[in-house]
């Protein structure tokens, strides 16, 4: 084997190891606070940035440049200037419009900024995997505090397609303290490393024929980074877990968590999500739960941001309502929450929608909480949202051939999109 080939294989093995996210581990001893909207999340993030002493890891789909987001940018830059190792990774599509501003604000301060699958040149769309985006919203500071949820770094009242509004979008995140935080840090570190290595590894491999030093330098950096962020082990009682969906070893972890919780439900299932087109297994779990007497309620978009997503959701309305699932459309503002609660204990808050993009393509992250108090707090927020929504109660019209055609068209479009993204099999 040639020296270049050997170094390339070493690099790939090291890259897989560094970017591996640990499998979900349930741990107790956590303090978990439910946060509604950026109005609640951003002040806590600003405080965490100001108090960070060693490192900050942040991953997000959208990092905008409105006043709320600029305050977060400034806090990250300030932390880097006082010696904190600040790592930020943004999605190349979601943050495309503000990359120049991010670089202008963060790079001079020493923030280590990376872009996941950048799209700054038209030919980037031709590269494999560009339909798979970074959709996680993660932050960890010093293994001390972490944030996970569905909230992008953009003002609650600003929508990128529809401009400013009076009412804040409905969205949630959690603030974490305790042994679950290192898992959040590991996930943010992994996606940052994937973006960094994708941009630097190809460039360094071009020089391998002349010298092995660049490759050895990268391998040493990877080893040092993993050693500094190694996860501790915990034996506390079960309380919460951190679950990701990636394209490596945990492709369907979030979907399985949902389906298993719904299958075990005895009294109540509440789900709030903006983009809803579940696969057959998920839909079957909802139908079966409703048929055995579980109250199943779905809170979906009433104020539409993407018309095609709304059409996809409505293609399955009649199928689910025909088995007793109750569907509500949230109309006071845009719905962006990705949360659920089952019975009196199980609850989840995260970034994952219930559609092919989130369940099979994008990088996603959810926290699953097994706690009556947290479940009750989320339930109170959801009850308010359901009360402000319109229940879909029109007569069922899509049970015949028109409904079948509508579902078939959506299924065909979903399957085509997944094939373009390199995903095979039925959905």
List active site positions: 135, 137, 142, 336, 338, 343
- Bridge-partner residues for 138, per DSSP? 59, 148
Contact predicate 286/353, CB 8 Å: no
- How far apart, in whole angstroms, are the C-alpha atoms of residue 305 and residue 201? 38
Contact predicate 58/89, CB 8 Å: yes
Contact predicate 382/341, CB 8 Å: yes
In the three-class reduction of DSSP (H, G, I as helix; E, B as strand; rest coil), residue 176 is classed as strand
Burial class for 401, CB neighbours closer than 10 Å (0-12, 13-18, 19+):
exposed
Smallest Cα–Cα separation from 152: which of 33, 41, 276? 41
Smallest Cα–Cα separation from 318: which of 353, 294, 283, 288? 283
Q: Within 10 Å of residue 357's Cβ, how many Cβ atoms?
A: 21
In the three-class reduction of DSSP (H, G, I as helix; E, B as strand; rest coil), residue 70 is classed as helix
Q: Which CA distances in Å does 109 have to 57, 67, 68, 86, 112?
A: 15, 19, 19, 10, 9
């Amino acid at each position: 084997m040639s020296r270049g080939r050997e170094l390339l294989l070493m690099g790939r093995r090291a890259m897989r190891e560094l970017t591996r996210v640990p499998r979900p581990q349930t741990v107790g001893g956590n303090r978990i606070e439910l946060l509604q909207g950026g109005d609640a999340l951003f002040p806590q993030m600003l405080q965490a940035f100001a108090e960070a002493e060693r490192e900050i890891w942040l991953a997000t789909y959208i990092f905008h440049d409105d006043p709320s987001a600029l305050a977060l940018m400034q806090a990250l830059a300030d932390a880097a200037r006082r010696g904190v190792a600040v790592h930020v990774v943004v999605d190349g599509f979601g943050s495309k419009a503000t990359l120049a501003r991010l670089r202008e604000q963060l790079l001079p301060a020493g923030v280590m900024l990376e872009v996941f699958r950048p799209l700054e040149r038209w030919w980037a769309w031709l590269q494999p995997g560009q339909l798979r985006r970074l959709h996680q919203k993660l932050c960890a500071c010093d293994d001390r505090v972490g944030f996970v949820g569905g909230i992008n770094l953009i003002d609650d009242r600003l929508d990128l397609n529809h401009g400013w509004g009076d009412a804040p979008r409905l969205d949630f995140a959690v603030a974490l303290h305790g042994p679950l935080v290192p898992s959040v840090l590991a996930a943010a570190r992994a996606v940052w490393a994937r973006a960094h290595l994708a941009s630097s590894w190809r460039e360094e491999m071009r020089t391998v024929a002349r010298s092995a030093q660049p490759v050895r330098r990268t391998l040493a950096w990877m080893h040092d980074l993993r050693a500094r962020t190694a996860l501790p082990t915990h034996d506390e009682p079960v309380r919460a877990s951190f679950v990701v969906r990636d394209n490596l070893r945990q492709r369907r972890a979030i979907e399985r968590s949902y389906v298993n919780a719904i299958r075990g439900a005895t009294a109540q299932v509440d789900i709030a999500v903006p983009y809803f087109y579940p696969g057959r297994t998920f839909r079957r779990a909802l139908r079966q739960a409703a048929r055995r007497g579980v109250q199943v309620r779905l809170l979906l978009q009433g104020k539409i941001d993407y018309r095609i997503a709304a059409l996809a959701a409505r293609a399955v309305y009649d199928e689910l309502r025909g088995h007793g699932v109750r569907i509500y459309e949230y109309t006071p503002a845009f719905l962006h929450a990705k949360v659920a609660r089952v019975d009196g204990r199980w609850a989840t808050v995260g970034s994952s929608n219930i559609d092919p993009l989130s369940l099979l393509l994008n990088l996603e992250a959810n926290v699953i909480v097994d706690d009556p108090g947290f479940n009750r707090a989320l339930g109170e927020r959801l009850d308010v949202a359901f009360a402000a929504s319109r229940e879909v109660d029109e007569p069922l019209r899509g049970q015949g051939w028109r409904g079948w055609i509508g579902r078939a068209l959506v299924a065909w479009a979903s399957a085509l999109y997944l094939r373009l993204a390199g995903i095979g099999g039925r959905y």
